[in-house]
Chain A
Amino acid sequence: MHPEKLKHDFEPKIIAFVCTWCTYAGADLAGTSRMQYPANVRVLKFPCTGRIDPVFILKAFQQGADGVLVSGCHPGDCHYIAGNFHARRRFAAFRKLLEFVGVDLERLQFSWVSAAEGGKWVEVVTDLTEKVRNMGPMTEFKELALEEQWSGTIDTPELKEAYNAI
């Protein structure tokens, strides 16, 4: 028996960058335990959170993600000893940069989910999906991609006049 599915106006696209040793296994546990979580999340498996370059997050937003989740092993549990410690610093800095450029940080979630925390995975994914659903689509990067603007806004009266004369 499946619980009745709610119909929503907007289904956000959530990209999850996860580490193979903890969160991927955690998500797998959620699946084998038959826990339900939103199908909005697209999971991408990486060897370690330390392998997840901030540029991947940027690329995900540019390619139409409405939310991004980055998840890996708890500090101290890294398969490669220190990958997640390095990632923690890098993402702390990257968050500050995105914030300064004007990206809403509510769309970017970091979490530690171990291989035993299927329940936490469900909770994190559900929370982020609902949060992003309420915020609506991420339009900033999509609008940028559609723009063909060269070297600033050309709106001086002289240029407009010249353009109209053509």
Chain B
Amino acid sequence: MTQTIDTTIYAAVSEAIQAEAKRILTAGEVTAVVGYAAARRKGSAQPIVITSAVDAQKLIFTPACVNNLAVYLTKAKKEIPKSGRIGIVVKGCDLKALVGLMGESQLKREQLYLIGVPCAGVLASTIQPDTGLTSDSIAPKCLECDAHLPQGCDFVPTQTPVSPELEKKYAAEIARLEALTPQERWAYWKEQFSKCIKCYACRQVCPFCFCEQCLCDRNKPQMVDTTPRPAGNTAWHIVRAMHLAGRCAGCAECERVCPMDIPLNLLNRKMAKELKELYDYEAGFQVNDKGPLNSYTEKDDQSFIK
């Protein structure tokens, strides 16, 4: 059954973002604001960096504002944070990524002016941008969202997002795969990974893949085959999932940008689920100095060790 999701607050949220961006840019509190602007196709949106108060009116928030802008602060536009304090428009999931980056000493809280967005959900990657938001067109990550209202921001519009209880697609798919035999799971992932063309879009878009030189690009020693063939693909996706375990904030950008529609976030959700069970860790709004895989307790489970 298709449920319509109420996005009427987005217009008021856009206005509040514009007003706040204008205020902080005029007052000189920030040197730039990273946000969303309308793109050329009807209803679509794209990231924008504005530096003058005049441009504040360009900022919008719609269900097509899918990008996680945190990536602009670590990789894509690495020079941005150096120019002074930066305003950034963040949904709850994006804020978790920023919090993770702060925990890993990639960003400082005082460098940022966080404009939180009360978000009821955004569109899935396969949906045309001017479509209405329903339980069918919503991004799968939004079905399991527990962060509709970001916390700890410098400014959050007063609107409250309405978020109905929806079917959790990732949880259902993980449960389905877990119930299969190892051979069936291997066959499933073999089929999925064989689609990979090694474009590394998943790596480029991930706020946490900020290594200057990726292990998978090194050839002395070469740990992962670089050719887009099944062996190298499988190794790449296993390494990717392992390197994000305990760090991934669940923004699902990897899955959104994948041109071959590999369910990458499924691996990330699975690892998040396991780390929650094993070490009671979840990505959240609280900055932690250490994640679950670079801390330990003496009483950790070791039933699998002889």
Contact = CB atoms under 8 A, between A and B. Distances in A.
A110 B304 contact: yes
A151 interface: yes
A97 B241 contact: yes
Secondary structure dominating the interface of B? helix
Interface string B268-306: 001100110011000000000000111111101110111
Interface of A is mostly: helix
Contact of A111 (B235, B241, B306): B306
A112 B274 CA distance: 23
A117 B241 CA distance: 35
Interface stretch (B44-52, B81-89, B180-188): B180-188
Contact of B298 (A75, A95, A112, A124): A75
Nearest to B302: A88
A85 interface: yes
Interface residues of A, number: 43
* Centre residue among B185, B215, B230 by max chain A CB count within 10 A: B230
Contacts, number: 134
A100 B296 contact: no
Interface string A138-157: 00110011011111110000
Interface stretch (A25-33, A36-44, A51-59): A51-59
5 contacts: A58-B238, A93-B275, A97-B267, A102-B182, A141-B234
Given A89-B296, A91-B305, 20 more contacts: A55-B242, A58-B223, A59-B223, A89-B278, A92-B278, A93-B246, A93-B278, A97-B245, A100-B267, A101-B185, A101-B238, A101-B267, A102-B183, A102-B185, A112-B306, A124-B306, A144-B190, A144-B230, A147-B229, A150-B229
